[in-house]
């Protein structure tokens, strides 16, 4: 049996669905049972509870030969790092106590750095905790999710621009989260990683916000859609206004500065193993559908 954390989320849902389709036994983990119902119908066992609760996670991992793990975001957490540490420690402890043999961690580009990367620093710490367990661990360091663009749609709608603190011409590895889930499922089903392995997942090619905005504009019938770069302070204030904790809003600003200044970057040259299939052009259809639906 393979335990899957975040099984109703972007990546975990794809991990669970893909494993079930391959005939694997899956235990789907998240807090809300209703959101796990489609996986239960597809044959998954459901474990509903909070990943900050070690005894829950210990039950959820018991009997698992492998696990897909992540630190789910809580946008209101403050300080965000204390929240990440609490869930990360609970996960590591439950994995240790249940002796799960193989563990995949959803990590991020930039997790090679201990600090100065905003929320990514919490994933650096989680990689360190899982290294200490001494088992077989695969750290999937994913690029910037295409899904992040969903949060730009209200701005596009209300102001007729796309914007953020990323510089328009900085090239970033950007990826569809479904490709992250597919890579994790393939590794778990293949049972083919041993020791500690770091693998970057980078999307089909690097993209700039200027290019992303052009593709998005075309998809929503606004070919002249412009990208506007905001100062870091204004960006953090807008995130706090949208409901994020002030602390997390500031951390995101730090992360974006890390991308703009070239500190957060990939550690290995792009390769077939780090290149994933879904293009932003095809993903933009989902963004356009959401834009039209609102």
Ligand X SMILES: NC(=O)c1ccc[n+]([C@@H]2O[C@H](COP(=O)([O-])OP(=O)(O)OC[C@H]3O[C@@H](n4cnc5c(N)ncnc54)[C@H](OP(=O)(O)O)[C@@H]3O)[C@@H](O)[C@H]2O)c1
Footprint on residues 181-240 left by ligand X (CB under 6 A): none
DSSP states of 117-173 as a string? STTHHHHHHHHHHHHHH-SEEEEEEE-EEGGGGGGGHHHHHHHSEEEESS-TT--EE
Q: Please, which residue, 40 or 194, has the CB nearer to ligand X?
A: 40
Q: Output 123 or 225, the one with its CB closest to ligand X.
A: 123
Query: Which one of residues 22, 42, 50, 234 is an interface residue with ligand X (CB under 6 A)?
Result: 50
Per-position x/- string for 83-112, each x denoting binding to ligand X as judged by CB under 6 A, each - no binding? -----------------------x-x----
Instruction: Count CB atoms within 10 A of the CB of residue 246.
Output: 14
Residue 213 contacts residue 152 (beta carbons within 8 Å): no
Shortest Å distance, C-beta 269 to ligand X:
19
Question: How many chain residues touch ligand X (CB under 6 A)?
Answer: 27
Smallest Cα–Cα separation from 161: which of 240, 214, 207, 206? 214
Residue 236, both tokens: 């953090």
Looking at residue 230, what DSSP letter applies? P
Interface segment toward ligand X; rule CB under 6 A; list 95-103, 140-148, 222-230, 272-280: 140-148
Minimum distance of ligand X from residue 210's CB (angstroms): 18
Q: Which of 22, 55, 63, 148 binds ligand X (CB under 6 A)?
A: 148
Determine if 7 is a binding residue for ligand X (CB under 6 A).
yes
Give the DSSP per-residue string, 263-294: -S--SS---TTT--S--HHHHHHHHHHHHHH-
- The residue whose Cβ lies closest to ligand X is 9
6 touching ligand X, by CB under 6 A: yes
**102/124 with CB nearer ligand X:** 124
Of residues 206 and 222, the one with the C-beta less far from ligand X = 206
CA pair distance 75, 73, nearest whole angstrom? 6
- CA-to-CA distance for 258 and 167, rounded, in angstroms? 11
- 27-35, 214-222, 246-254, 279-287 -> range binding ligand X (CB under 6 A): 27-35
Q: Is 51 in the site for ligand X (CB under 6 A)?
A: yes
CB of 115 to ligand X, least distance (A): 16
Residues in the chain: 294
Rounded to whole angstroms, the Cα distance separating 38 from 91 reads 25
Token pair 């916000």: residue: 209
User: Out of 80, 145, 235, 259, which residue is the one contacting ligand X (CB under 6 A)?
Assistant: 145
Binding residues for ligand X (CB under 6 A): 6-12, 30-32, 35, 50-52, 70-73, 106, 108, 119, 123, 142, 144-145, 148, 177
């Amino acid at each position: 049996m393979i335990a899957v954390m975040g099984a109703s989320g972007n990546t975990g849902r794809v991990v669970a669905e893909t494993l079930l389709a391959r005939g694997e036994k899956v235990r789907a983990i998240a807090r809300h049972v209703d959101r796990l119902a489609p996986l239960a119908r597809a044959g998954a066992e459901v474990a509903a509870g909070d990943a900050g609760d070690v005894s829950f996670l210990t039950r959820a991992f018991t009997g698992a030969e492998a696990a897909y793990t992540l630190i789910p975001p809580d946008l209101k957490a403050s300080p965000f790092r204390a929240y990440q540490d609490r869930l990360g420690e609970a996960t590591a402890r439950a994995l240790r106590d249940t002796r799960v043999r193989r563990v995949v961690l959803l990590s991020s580009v930039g997790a090679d750095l201990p600090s100065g990367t905003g929320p990514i620093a919490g994933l650096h710490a989680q990689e360190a905790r899982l290294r200490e367990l001494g088992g077989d661990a695969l750290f999937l360091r994913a690029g910037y999710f295409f899904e992040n663009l969903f949060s730009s749609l209200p701005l596009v709608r209300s102001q007729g621009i796309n914007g953020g603190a990323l510089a328009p011409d900085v090239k970033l590895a950007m990826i569809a989260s479904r490709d992250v889930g597919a890579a994790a499922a393939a590794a778990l089903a293949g049972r083919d990683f041993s020791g500690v392995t770091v693998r970057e997942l980078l999307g089909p090619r690097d993209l700039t916000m200027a290019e992303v905005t052009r593709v998005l504009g075309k998809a929503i019938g606004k070919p002249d859609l412009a990208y506007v770069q905001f100062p870091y302070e204004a960006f953090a204030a807008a995130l706090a206004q949208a409901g994020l904790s002030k602390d997390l809003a500031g951390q995101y600003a730090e992360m974006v500065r890390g991308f703009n200044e070239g500190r957060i970057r990939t550690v290995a040259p792009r390769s077939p193993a780090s290149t994933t299939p879904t293009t932003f052009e095809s993903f933009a259809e989902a963004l356009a559908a959401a834009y039209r639906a609102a």
